[in-house]
Amino acid sequence: MTKTQNASIRNDGDGKCAWPDFALWCQTLLQANQDDATSKPSYLAPALYVIATPIGHLGDLTLRALWALSQADAVFCEDTRVTGGLLHRLGIKKPLISCHDHNEEFRITDILRRLMAGERIALVSDAGTPLISDPGFRLVRACRENGFDVIALPGASAVLTALTCSGLPADHFMFVGFLPTKTAAQKTALKEVAGIDATLVFYESARRLSTTLGVMKTVFASNRRVVVARELTKLYEEIKAGTLGELADYYAERDAPKGEIVILVEAGESLSETPVLDLDDELRLALETMSVKDAAVTVAAKLGLKKKEVYARSLALTE
């Protein structure tokens, strides 16, 4: 969980709801006298508990997650500082042990030993649901292969949060996650999913948003609908919808936004019906029968690009 929104009672100043102090609520729940409860909590059995944590707003932590974290013998997490901050706000003190991409294999032996000894182990990521573009699948597989229970405690997920408020079809969707950072590899990855009949969901860093949308515009049709969701559940949550051409131009003209980004692209048509070609391929094809100027005008209109940029590229290809 990064920079979790303060949940104290206040109006956000823009007409949004004023939220109660969820951190205080959680602490009060944990400190309540269980003897006075009409339904006493059950014993947390030894197992690996895969626990979703808030992606921004502390109030999205479930009661089940709160209880499991309070009862766990140890919490394995991506960054002990981030998870430590979360547990501090909840009034929970637990041993925190790092478990990330670089040491997951090493941690598996320790966790299996702990489970063998009857411990209750919690696995969390910095924000959202573990294993979704985060480490953990090797650990879960190892626990199952060794006969230990793995119990998922569902909750916040940037993928589903973005999808449900995007206005794009949610009956079929494909989570792609982060694209490669190099442009050529990005194009290859995008071409592989371009014709899938499902809403595509990507994660991206704020500093790369404009570049990635530009590459998407050249690979996908520029009139394909897209939604950019930023800072979900946080104070400055922002959701922008439009065509790839519109949003690529919008973010290209502005400084990189802040926060964590989810990009959603509407389903594409079958590749057999609409071949996906990049700018250079389109220009080379047009230049076989047209002048440089006519090819640039035709391709720019087809891909929804600026004529000046396409003309410059046409000249470069003919040199």
pLDDT of residue 7: 37
Question: Rounded distance, CA 162 to CA 204, Å?
Answer: 13
Q: For residue 3, give the DSSP letter.
A: S
Bridging pattern class, strands 260-265 and 225-230: antiparallel
Question: Rounded distance, CA 208 to CA 228, Å?
Answer: 13
Q: For residue 122, give the DSSP letter.
A: E
Match 């790092």 to its residue by tokens: 98
pLDDT of residue 230: 96
pLDDT of residue 10: 38
pLDDT of residue 3: 40
Q: Give all strands (DSSP E) within 168-268, no chain letters.
A: 173-178, 199-205, 225-230, 238-243, 260-265
pLDDT of residue 163: 97
> CA–CA distance from 80 to each of 109, 166, 268 (Å)?
19, 33, 41
pLDDT of residue 116: 97
pLDDT of residue 28: 79
pLDDT of residue 32: 62
Residues 287, 318 contacting (CB under 8 angstroms): yes
pLDDT one-digit tens code per residue, 65-121 = 999 999 999 999 999 999 999 999 999 999 999 999 899 999 999 999 999 999 999
Query: pLDDT means per 10 residues in the chain (319 residues)?
Result: 38 58 79 58 87 95 94 96 96 95 92 97 96 93 97 97 96 95 91 91 96 93 93 94 95 92 86 52 87 88 79 83
> Which tokens in the block code for residue 171?
């009956």
Residues 6+ apart with CB under 8 A from 171: none
> Using CB atoms within 10 A of its CB, is residue 284 exposed (0-12), middle (13-18) or buried (19+)?
middle
Question: Rounded distance, CA 143 to CA 109, Å?
Answer: 10
Bridging pattern class, strands 173-178 and 120-123: unpaired
3-state secondary structure of 150: strand
> CA–CA distance from 109 to each of 79, 148, 172, 215, 313 (Å)?
19, 13, 38, 42, 55
